[in-house]
Structure 1
Amino acid sequence: MASPAAEASKPHVVLIPYPAQGHVTPFLRLAKALHARSFHVTFVHTEYNHARLLRSRGAAAVAGADGLRFETIPDGLPPPAPPELDATQDTWAICEATRRTGPGHVRELLERLGRRAGDPPVSCVVADGAMGFAVHVAKEMGIPAYLFFTHSACGLLAYLNFDQLVKRGYVPLKDESCLTNGYLDTRLDWIAGMIAGVRLSDLPTFIRTTDPDDVMLTITIKQSELDAPAADGILLNTFDDLERAALDAIRARLPITITVGPLGPEVSPPSYLPSLTSSLWREDGRCAAWLDSHADAAVVYVNFGSITVMTRAQVGEFARGLAAAGTPFLWVIRPDMVRDAGDGEATPLLPEGFEEEVVASGRGMMVGWCDQEAVLGHRATGGFLSHCGWNSTVESLVAGVPMLCWPFFSEQVTNCRYACEEWGVGVEMARDAGRREVEAAVREVMGVSERAAAARRKAAEWKEEAAAAVAPGGSSQRNLERFFAEIARVKR
């Protein structure tokens, strides 16, 4: 344990993630990497997520460690009713509320941390790109501030062009018919650095609005036009060889853009402070043993992330498609994933006979949440049916596992296009995919066709590239160490 004097002399970094699972996870990895290099770290949860962690993981998950503390701020939303206590919050509501109320809460927190005896003064703030208001607060207080965008570079590049989409008249949509009449197939050849042939439908779904004052459209433009240029630098959880063209275009506008990914075991080993985990749901511990009982690359892993919601009808279609494909599968169905109750308990979630045919026989396993990196890294996992969230996409590339892509919203559609067309590791499924489309996609990715073999080859190649980026001397490893050295020099 460091002496009080030694602790007080450390550089002090405050991390402020956006309060969603996919953002908290990479931020905690960054926190551990900083702490391992003798930084004093304050990690800021919202009160809502802090309470969720206590329920799912126990007090150890937020107990901190010598030199790593957890703090909380309000999120600006009214307290939820009991049934919603462990549900992912509405994206539109939480973005509006944190942007409106967050600056005052962040200022109060930074002032309080500056007065706390025994702790070093705050020397740097790293805020989520979706919490970009914190940059302005920190800068007003004379504190260097960086933004960590936890999505892809191609996603950030798309967001950086939202203002141009408005100025050029593409957005907002003229009317609701634009969602179905082919307008979203409009090609955009003027976005420098974007994949060839990119369409409106490939850009983050927040553009699909008829309201010029839409909350997410407005906030996203502010994040790109006001917050990002005000930051001392931008961090991205990607690596140069994966998204070079997009990164070049971003750096033309935001020169200090630092690739530090993939933020995984090489940067923050699971053995380092193992009690400090980010999972907002309790993980099912049976997955490893179930996977052990299957052959190499035989299992399809199905997980639509922490935000995707489905109807009971969609769950039923996916269940029938997975059963018909005949491939063993491990399927994560979050407690809050199915939002329409139908007839309540009178309407079963899964088709009649499904559990007897598939689950009881051992060919399928259903869990509420799991250790995704462990599942993807298991020898039995051969394909990943995913919503294409950036953490999931990166973790799939790191594990060398091909993807079946079913994007839900935001820049997931952009990640999907890149996974399928640029990186060669994915097969896209339509948003309205039913049982036949699910069955066909599973058979294609898990089969012996040339396309399946090509996807496996590309996945294996990207696995090597990702490992090289974070290995000693790799591009992301060098960037991360330079970033640490830069913020360590700050004295206040």
Structure 2
Amino acid sequence: MVPFPAQSHLNQQLQLACIFSSSYDLPVHFIGSATHNHQARVRANGLKPSDIAKIHFHDIPTPDFASPAPDPNAFTKFPSQLLPSYNACTLLRDPISLLLRDISSKSRRVVVVHDVLMSYNVQDVTSLHNAESYIFNCVSVFFMYSSFICVPNGMPIPLDEDLLKKLPILEPDAPEEINKLVEFQLQFRDIRVGDLYNSNKLLEGTSLDLMEKFASTQNKKQWAIGPIFLAAKVDHVSDKRNKCLDWLDNQPPRSVLYVSFGSSTTFSDKEVMELAMGLERSKQKFVWVLRDGDRGNIFSEEARRFELPDGFEERVEGVGLVVREWAPQLEILAHSSTGGFMSHCGWNSCIECITAGVPMAAWAMHSEQPLNAFFVTEILKTGLLVREWKKHEELVTASAIEDVVRKLMASEEGDEIRRRAEELGAAVRESIEKGGASQLELDSFIAHITR
């Protein structure tokens, strides 16, 4: 396993590693810098320590890299502060190659499952007689097909006319250095035998069929094995229970809005104030995870002190809870008191939310997130937009936040969206059960690599 050093990528690859190791009894090697391997382990929300213990972690020596704090007043929300750590990972090719050669000499077959953004680093797999590689894609198939097949090849995106009018137009929001890094890595992706997707046919059947048709012209295979956190049996409850779960225990069913913007989003002081006022004025219950986006080295962080409206936490006591540390998202979404999720729409959060059967207040921040928000709100119809992407440079006001929170949590429209979300979540959970579509795909992949 060769993950890209960003939280949502590390998280999904570690879950997949646990599936291979614990469910199929395969020896698994997890390769990365000491910092990022440690990050993957300490944030392994819900994975059993006994499953993680079966994995062989290899801490590859990495040159020291800068780990600046995120800029809360940056023009775009892209986490540019992570660029030094991204660049550092491009220096891992040689040590990865040496490790692969060593494992190859002792194994019948070596299977490398890597992030698409680590393709350069694993290219020497082609020089080993008993090795092959597969890309594990941490993003939606809809995004992959639209952005990497349709747009570059001048093909129409397969949506009806009404939906095409609503489709957000993605403009580059990352620094040019990031774009160059992505282009550099993508040059080496064709060495793969096939692709794994953290999705399934129930959610993205159309996109998967189209992607499979295209992949067959490239002689590539594909498997849709998600939601992988379910296959990884992510249900372990930590001995140290988070205080927000105790708080949720005392709330009515489906009454609480969970507010969290992932590991890469940083708000300005003004945005924090507007969000606080919007949540308070909505009169709806909430758990709000208030923290900065990650640095490249999360262990070098000094927590930022956020300014909230005077007396805010005292006024919302019993109604809302502000959490300032890493929160157990899967446990929060699965809690019976959780009735909505205000999210940045990273694919990890989307698929966890969909699987839990929780409706979403979709507030995309950067990268492919606007397409994920579109997918949830317009195709699945299990959420509402907080703001349209074409207005992403404008401040989202307290009144706009208040309106969308009330609509999602306390209206007939919100109830209907919640009903659809719950039905879809139940169906997705069934897909990973024995005989379900995703479980069959997972079994098929294992049969293929152990042939």
Tell me the CA shift for residue 391 of structure 1: 1.0
CA RMSD of aligned residues (A): 3.3
C-alpha distance in structure 1 between counterparts of 2:179 and 2:304, whole Å: 39
Give yes or no for the alignment of 1:433 onto 2:390.
Answer: no
Residues 337, 349 of structure 1: CA spacing in aligned structure 2 closer, same or farther, 3 A cutoff? farther
Q: What is the letter of the counterpart of residue 119 of structure 2?
A: G
Which residue matches 2:133? Answer: 145
Contact persistence 1:381–1:401 (CA under 8 A): yes
Q: Could you tell me which residue of structure 1 aligns to residue 144 of structure 2?
A: 156
2:21: which partner in 1?
A: 35
Give the drift of 1:50: 3.3
In structure 1, distance between residues paired with 2:61 and 2:366: 26
For 1:152 and 1:195, the matched residues in 2 are separated by 19
Provide the C-alpha distance between the structure 2 equivalents of 1:201 and 1:38, rounded to a whole number of angstroms: 43
Q: How far apart are the structure 1 equivalents of 2:276 and 2:240?
A: 22
Alignment of 1:254-403 (within 5 A): 254-255=215-216, 256-271=221-236, 285-334=242-291, 336=293, 349-358=307-316, 360-403=317-360
1:308 Cα deviation (Å)? 0.8
**Aligned-pair distance for 1:474?**
1.3
State the 1:247 CA deviation.
Answer: 1.5
Q: Which moved more, 1:462-471 or 1:374-383?
A: 462-471
Aligned twin of 1:177:
none
TM-score, length of structure 2 as denominator length: 0.83
Q: What amino acid is aligned across from residue 433 of structure 1 in structure 2? A: V
Q: After the TM superposition, which residues 215-226 of structure 1 pair with which residues of structure 2 at under 5 Å, given as runs? A: 215-221=177-183, 226=187
Counterpart CA distance in 2 for 1:345 and 1:253 is 46
In the TM superposition, residue 229 of structure 1 has moved relative to its aligned partner by 3.1
Displacement of 1:61 in angstroms is 9.7
Q: Structure 2: how far apart are the matches of 1:30 and 1:23?
A: 11
In 2, the alpha carbon distance for the partners of 1:443 and 1:66 equals 44
Question: In structure 1, what is the Cα distance between the partners aligned to 2:384 and 2:290?
Answer: 22
Once residues 280 and 207 of structure 2 are traced to their aligned partners in structure 1, the CA distance between those partners, rounded to angstroms, is 39
Q: CA deviation at 1:198?
A: 3.7
Q: Distance in 2 between matches of 1:137 and 1:379?
A: 48
Shift of 1:319: 0.5
Structure 1 counterpart SS, 2:97: helix
Q: Counterpart amino acid of 1:473?
A: G
In the alignment, does 2:89 pair up with 1:98?
A: yes
Which of 390, 405, 421 matches 1:442?
A: 405
Unaligned residue ranges in structure 1 (runs of 5+): 1-14, 169-189, 276-281, 339-343
Matched, 1:410 2:410: no
Deviation per residue, 1:71-109 (Å, 9 max, x gap):
12245562547x79xxx883444444433x232232133
Partner of 2:418: 456
Give the distance between the partners of 1:421 and 1:357, measured in 2 at CA: 36
1:250 to 197, 202, 211: 211
Corresponding residue for residue 184 of structure 1: none
The one-letter amino acid of 1:447's match is A
Tell me: CA distance 1:16–1:426, structure 2 relative to 1, closer, same or farther (3 Å). same
Q: Residues 258 and 479 of structure 1 are in contact (CA less than 8 Å); yes or no, is this contact kept in structure 2?
A: yes
Measured in 1, the distance between the counterparts of 2:401 and 2:352 equals 22
1:443 alignment partner AA: R
Q: Check whether the contact 1:402–1:455 (CA below 8 A) recurs between aligned residues.
A: yes
Read off the aligned partner of 1:202 and give its amino acid letter.
P
Unpaired runs of 5+ in structure 2? 71-78, 296-301
Q: TM-score, normalised on structure 1?
A: 0.77
Residue 9 of structure 1: aligned partner: none
Q: What is the alpha-carbon distance in structure 2 between the residues aligned to residue 285 and residue 71 of structure 1?
A: 30
For these two proteins, the number of residue pairs brought into alignment is: 422
Q: For residues 244-283 of structure 1, what are the alpha-carbon distances to aligned partners after superposition, in whole Å with 9 as ceiling and x for unaligned?
A: 2222222233231210001123443435xx89xxxxxx99
Deviation, structure 1 residue 40: 0.3
Could you report, residue by residue, the CA deviation over 1:290-349 in whole angstroms, capped at 9, with x for unpaired residues?
A: 0011000100000100111111111111001000001111011225579xxxxx999851
| Cα distance in 1 between the residues matched to 2:61 and 2:80 | 13
SS at match of 2:308: coil
Distance 2:431 2:48 in 1: 29
Q: Cα–Cα, structure 1 residues 356 and 269, in superposed 2: closer, same or farther, change >3 Å?
A: closer
Provide closer, same or farther for how the CA distance between residues 132 and 283 of structure 1 changes in structure 2, counting only shifts above 3 A: farther
Q: 1:45 aligns with which of 25, 32, 40?
A: 32
| AA of the residue aligned to 1:303 | S
Query: Residue 69 of structure 1 aligns to which amino acid in structure 2?
Result: H
Give the CA deviation at 1:129: 1.7
Partner of 2:299: none
Task: State the one-letter code of the partner of 1:145.
Answer: S
Return the letter of the residue paired with 2:323. M
Question: % of aligned pairs identical?
Answer: 25
Distance 1:460 1:309, change over 3 A: same
